[in-house]
């Protein structure tokens, strides 16, 4: 299978290139950056034949069967739809869009083309959360409450590599998207109640730097989510699952019980790398002609919930 990676020079573009290198039967034939990027050295280092700063040039290539989008959030909807219209399967990094309207447009384009369109909801694939999900499916666990903390110290516009971003990150439409989707995925329900509170807007970035979100499902499970770009301490996202049969703490690809005893995750997945597992699911769905886990249609309810949260800020 021949694929292209757009946004290849960014932090997550590199992660996808690293992941694909571990997957047999897939070849990156083109990488795309912004017009100001020079990806020549990256392409040479990775043995990739084609690189460009022109997205449309990549889309016009007949050898590209599928595209992975690791581009700025504000480009996701337009580029995802363009890929589908050009006959390319597409995996778009989280979030698939930063509005409900654009999210619905993506889902509609997927339905019309019948191609694979997948959103990179990595939490569905992290072995720690997969272990929980497997227990839920087996009837051994039921989530009563999820307490989630998403904390960064990001008072300037830098990416995960410490490089200046050409776009602004967002606590709701990016970081909360992870946890809202995961909560609804693990409970198997769409939230019946949703609200959010946000702190003051940053004078330059024009985004809220602190946020609190609450969700409740029809069966009574609740999510309490705290997010901040002001946290000068341990960084990342930490999940506490309070269940009917135990408490579990997930820290990325590690899982512990409520007393901090580690849980063996060997055998849960073929890799401990969530990005690699996303990519594997994307390529497998294309080869098998099936809907992937985390398809854009499956993720749409999370985007609808984010929209409800956003509208609650003004109440």
pLDDT in tens, the chain (315 residues): 999 999 998 889 999 999 999 999 999 999 999 867 779 999 999 999 999 999 999 999 999 999 999 999 999 999 999 999 999 999 999 999 999 999 999 999 999 999 999 999 999 999 999 999 999 999 999 999 999 999 988 777 665 556 666 656 789 999 999 999 999 999 999 999 999 999 999 888 888 999 999 999 999 999 999 999 999 988 889 999 999 999 999 997 899 999 999 999 999 999 999 999 999 999 999 999 999 999 999 999 999 999 999 999 976
| C-alpha to C-alpha distance for 291 and 294, rounded to whole angstroms | 9
Going from the N-terminus, what domains does the chain have, and what CATH number goes with each? Answer: 2-122+275-292 (3.40.50.720), 123-270+301-312 (3.30.360.10)
What tokens appear for 212 in the block? 């609190």
Q: Strands, DSSP E only, in 110-245? A: 117-120, 143-151, 193-198, 210-216, 222-228, 236-243
Query: Strand 117-120 and strand 2-6: pairing?
Result: unpaired
How many beta carbons lie within 10 A of that of residue 40, not counting itself? 9
What tokens appear for 172 in the block? 């709701």
Q: What angle do CA 162, 46, 9 make, to 5 degrees?
A: 30
In terms of residues, how long is the chain? 315
Identify which of 294, 252, 254 has the alpha carbon closest to the alpha carbon of residue 94: 294
Cβ atoms of 138 and 194 closer than 8 Å: no
In angstroms, what CA-CA distances link 91 with 16, 114, 207?
11, 14, 27
What tokens appear for 93 in the block? 């990094």
Q: What's the longest Cα–Cα distance across the chain?
A: 55
């Amino acid at each position: 299978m021949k694929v292209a990676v757009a946004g290849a020079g960014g932090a997550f573009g590199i992660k996808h290139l690293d992941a694909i290198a571990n997957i047999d039967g897939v070849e990156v034939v083109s990488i795309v950056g912004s017009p100001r990027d020079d990806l020549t050295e990256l392409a040479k280092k990775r043995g990739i034949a084609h690189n460009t700063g022109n997205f449309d040039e990549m889309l016009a290539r007949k050898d590209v069967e599928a595209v992975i989008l690791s581009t700025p959030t504000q480009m996701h909807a337009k580029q995802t739809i363009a890929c589908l219209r050009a006959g390319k399967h597409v995996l778009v990094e989280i979030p698939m869009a930063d509005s409900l309207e654009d999210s619905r447009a993506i889902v509609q384009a997927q339905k019309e083309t019948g191609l694979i369109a997948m959103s990179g909801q990595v939490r569905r694939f992290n072995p720690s959360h997969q272990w929980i999900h497997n227990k839920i499916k087996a009837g051994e666990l039921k989530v009563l409450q999820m307490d989630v903390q998403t904390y960064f110290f990001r008072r300037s516009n830098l990416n995960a590599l410490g490089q200046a971003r050409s776009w602004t990150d967002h606590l709701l439409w990016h970081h909360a998207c992870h946890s809202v989707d995961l909560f609804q995925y693990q409970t198997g329900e769409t939230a019946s109640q949703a609200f959010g509170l946000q702190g003051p807007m940053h004078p330059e970035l024009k985004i809220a730097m602190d946020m609190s979100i609450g969700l409740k499902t029809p069966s009574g499970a609740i999510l309490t989510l705290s997010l901040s770009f002001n946290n000068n301490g341990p960084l990342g996202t930490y999940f506490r699952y309070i269940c009917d049969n135990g408490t579990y703490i997930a820290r990325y690809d590690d899982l512990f019980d409520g007393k901090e005893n580690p849980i063996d995750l060997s055998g849960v997945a073929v890799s401990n790398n969530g990005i690699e597992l996303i990519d594997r699911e994307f390529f497998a769905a294309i080869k098998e002609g099936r809907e992937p886990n985390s398809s854009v249609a499956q993720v749409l309810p999370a985007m609808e919930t984010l929209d409800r949260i956003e509208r609650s800020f003004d109440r």
